[in-house]
């Protein structure tokens, strides 16, 4: 008990300077795989290519829409087929069209997300969203769950010249919000989130329930590893 109390005290000390949380979207706040899989399979059908189940596609999500389409065309997380840039662009256009028409109707908010985000906001923390998903989908998804207004800043995969695992989106968010990296925590389910945070000298929370290509998020050594989203409040309260 004494050891546990000491560990908790250390966590509280580390968190004293923190005033800002950065959140990933897919696999962190929402499970969007059902819609992404449907849109990808519709695209693959147009090319008379094999389609894949949600569990397979779940391990392909996290590097943005273009890479997801490339993985679908390859039929593998490792992109093997040699398509031209123009061919990939055309497939991406199809995918985005199908994804828009779905209107994220099968996307769901993970347990504990709504209450935890509201609790963090009420405690005075600044919240920002940093995702590799195209920007056009951010507001519709967040608004559908009545959480868009909680975020002071949102950054999509096409907002800047680089996306996660680059540190650029995180450092850009720091600049826009007027905070230093030491005042921030990145929360995500993917190695891209943890690698980007480390490169930006930002602390990170790895969530085990997301996608992360089937890998254990602890392998990338985030500062904290949580199984449930609401565990974030054990640090913040």
CA nearest neighbour of 135 among 108, 153, 150, 149: 153
- Tell me: the pLDDT tens digits for 188-217? 999 999 999 999 999 999 999 998 887 899
DSSP-derived 3-state class of residue 109: strand
**CA dihedral of 19, 137, 57, 209, whole degrees rounded to 10:** 20
Expressed as residue numbers, the domain containing 48 is 33-102
- Tell me: the pLDDT tens digits for 56-96? 999 999 888 999 999 999 999 988 878 999 999 999 999 99
What is the model's pTM?
0.90
Task: From 52, 74, 102, give the residue that closes a domain.
Answer: 102
Same domain, 116 and 146: yes
> Residues 24, 26, 189, 193: which is the catalytic one?
24
Same domain, 158 and 191: yes
Outline where DSSP puts E strands in 123-233: 126-130, 153-155, 184-188, 203-207, 224-226
- The answer to whether the beta carbons of residues 95 and 102 sit under 8 Å apart is no
What is the domain-level CATH number for residue 61? 1.10.150.240
Same domain, 40 and 117: no
- The answer to whether the beta carbons of residues 17 and 182 sit under 8 Å apart is yes
- Tell me: the pLDDT tens digits for 21-59? 999 999 999 999 999 999 999 999 999 999 999 999 999
Same domain, 9 and 20: yes
Same domain, 157 and 82: no
Task: From 82, 102, 122, give the residue that closes a domain.
Answer: 102
Same domain, 167 and 232: yes
* Residue 189 annotated to the active site: no
Task: From 58, 74, 102, give the residue that closes a domain.
Answer: 102
């Amino acid at each position: 008990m004494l050891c546990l109390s000491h560990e908790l005290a250390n966590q509280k000390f580390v968190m004293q300077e923190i005033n800002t949380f950065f959140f990933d979207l897919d696999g962190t706040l929402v499970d969007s795989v059902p819609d992404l899989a449907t849109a990808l399979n519709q695209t693959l059908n147009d090319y008379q290519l094999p389609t894949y189940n949600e569990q397979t596609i779940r391990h392909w999500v996290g590097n943005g829409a273009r890479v997801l389409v490339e993985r679908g065309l390859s039929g593998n997380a490792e992109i093997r087929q040699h398509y031209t840039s123009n061919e990939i662009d055309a497939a991406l256009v199809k995918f985005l069209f199908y994804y828009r028409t779905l209107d994220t109707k099968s996307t769901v908010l993970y347990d504990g997300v709504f209450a935890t985000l509201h609790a963090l906001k009420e405690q005075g923390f600044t919240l920002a969203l940093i995702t590799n998903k195209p920007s056009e989908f951010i507001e519709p998804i967040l608004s559908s769950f009545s959480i868009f207004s909680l975020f002071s800043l949102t950054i999509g995969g096409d907002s800047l010249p680089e996306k996660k695992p680059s540190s650029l989106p995180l450092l850009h968010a720091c600049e826009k919000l007027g905070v230093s990296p030491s005042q921030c925590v990145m929360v995500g389910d993917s190695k891209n989130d943890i690698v980007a945070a480390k490169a930006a000298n930002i602390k990170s929370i790895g969530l085990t329930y997301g996608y992360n290509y089937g890998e254990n998020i602890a392998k990338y050594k985030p500062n904290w590893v949580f199984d449930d989203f609401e565990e974030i409040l054990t640090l913040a309260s």
